[in-house]
Chain A
């Protein structure tokens, strides 16, 4: 197969790092022998690679390993969690409307004199309903919830929402404020008692 000069030029970096096949290397070599400009480019790339390879970097080394072993000891092994389905803005909007409707219905039922219907299994002590940001890590979520004295009571729902409850002695309004401030971790917060 005969390739054009442009094709060969695209392969120069891989000729320099020695990862081309024998046949490809021979083809590039043939071009370098007859094309001065290509050879100059090749030599410049080789020099760049040599400089980069020679660059000394001080990595975390033993300290990094010690830190890793410490944190691994704290968390223990965690099984691979299934990826949460990605949410588009339309999906989020639909989910938000659904939650709003549920909360509105809840408010309406509470507002009336009659106790209304309630399923035995539907009783909940959730203080808030949240959706976590898709890229929030377990570590971030755990740190946030522990810091605000809240715990996950139920979830995820089919729409990806979690019911949270405030631990004994915790402050629900402060927790809600804290959750709303954690925009990188929490996608939405609804006060379940409002």
Chain B
């Protein structure tokens, strides 16, 4: 495995939230993939550093299991190592990598035959009656985590990619392999369910 022609990327180029440098970043990451295809471990390490956190956050948001999410993240980068040469540059590196992670989590759900809450309105029986307007940010975050956890995997994926990763509709569509209209519909539904859940838990008049 030659590491001679390795590429390092600047620290500032990271998760894809910097839209100004998105084109440069995509080209840099494409070059990294080409190096990985030649067996360059340092290029793999550079790509790992660039995507490890956002991809892990995406995976863990869908699995709620940090240990399993770590294993899936590992598998994603092992796959990248194996199939980097098959990347044809027809999509962005970012959506290609998130697409691998997206499908791996679907496989996990299939294997577990996990029953997910889908289009049902979440139960709100555990609403805290004592809710008042002074909830600490931490409590709100916990409520949000809970409510996101009640969503189906499809809804959770869409909201995670839109709000964690700030992806465009077209990018999310590419990751999930479905039309943009489907993504908009999933997001719309996820939003309704989330707001309904949050309004119940926070006891506020949030939009339902």
CB-CB contacts of A1-43 with B at 8 A, as 1s and 0s?
0000000011111101111000000000000000001001100
Residues of B within 8 A of A100 (CB): none
- Interface of B: prevailing SS: helix
Name the segment of B5-13, B51-59, B93-101, B119-127 touching the other chain. Answer: B51-59
For the side of the interface on A, what is the size category?
A: 35 or more
> Do A60 and B141 touch across chains, with their CB atoms under 8 A apart?
no
Output the least CB separation between A84 and chain B (Å): 14
Knowing A9-B188, A10-B185, A57-B56, the reply to whether A68 touches B48 (Cβ < 8 A) is yes
Partner of A77, one of B74, B82, B168: B82
| Interface pair A49/B52, CB less than 8 Å apart | no
Given A19-B166, A64-B73, A72-B81, decide whether A57 and B60 contact each other with a Cβ distance below 8 A: yes
- Does B187 sit at the interface, judged by CB under 8 A? yes
Do B207 and A79 have beta carbons less than 8 Å apart? no
How far apart are the CA atoms of A64 and B195 in the complex, in Å?
A: 35
Complex CA–CA separation, A68 to B85 (angstroms)? 18
Q: In the complex, which of the residues A52, A65, A75, A135 contacts B144, with contact meaning CB atoms closer than 8 Å?
A: A52
CB distance from B86 to the nearest CB of A (A): 4
How far is B195's CA from A37's CA once the two chains are assembled, in angstroms?
A: 13
Assess whether A40 is in contact with B207, with CB atoms less than 8 Å apart.
yes
Q: Are B164 and A77 in contact (CB under 8 A)?
A: no
- B166 near A17 with CB under 8 A, answer yes
- Chain B residues with CB below 8 A from A71, complex form: 74, 78
Docked-complex contact B191 and A68, CB < 8 angstroms:
no
A69 within 8 A of B: yes
A95 to chain B, nearest CB (A): 23
Interface: A118 (CB within 8 A) = no
What does the 1/0 interface line of B151-169 toward A look like (CB < 8 Å)?
0000000011011101111
Q: A52-B163, A64-B74 are in contact. Are A79 and B45 (CB under 8 A)?
A: no
Establish whether residues B85 and A61, one from each chain, have CB atoms under 8 Å apart when the complex forms. Answer: no
Nearest B residue to A46, CB-CB? B163
Task: Report whether B52 and A13 are in contact in the complex, using a CB–CB cutoff of 8 Å.
Answer: no
Q: B207 contacts which of A41, A55, A75 (Cβ < 8 Å)?
A: A41
Question: Which residue of chain B lies nearest to A76 when distances are taken between CB atoms in the complex?
Answer: B1
Whether A13 and B187, one on each chain, are in contact in the complex, defined by CB atoms closer than 8 angstroms, is yes
Q: Tell me whether A86 is interfacial, beta carbon within 8 Å.
A: no
Task: Collect the chain B residues with CB atoms within 8 Å of residue A72's CB.
Answer: 1, 41, 44, 78, 81
Give complex CA distance A11, B170 in Å. 12
Q: Is A77 a contact of B81 with CB atoms below 8 Å? A: yes
Known pairs A10-B185, A17-B166, A19-B166; A45 contacts B111 (CB<8 A) = no
Given contacts A18-B19, A64-B52, 18 further A-B contacts (CB under 8 A): A11-B184, A13-B188, A17-B162, A41-B191, A41-B195, A44-B207, A49-B162, A57-B56, A57-B60, A60-B56, A68-B78, A72-B44, A75-B78, A75-B81, A77-B81, A77-B82, A80-B83, A81-B82
Q: Please provide the 3 A-B residue pairs with the shortest distance between their CB atoms, ordered closest to farther.
A: A80-B86, A59-B56, A19-B168
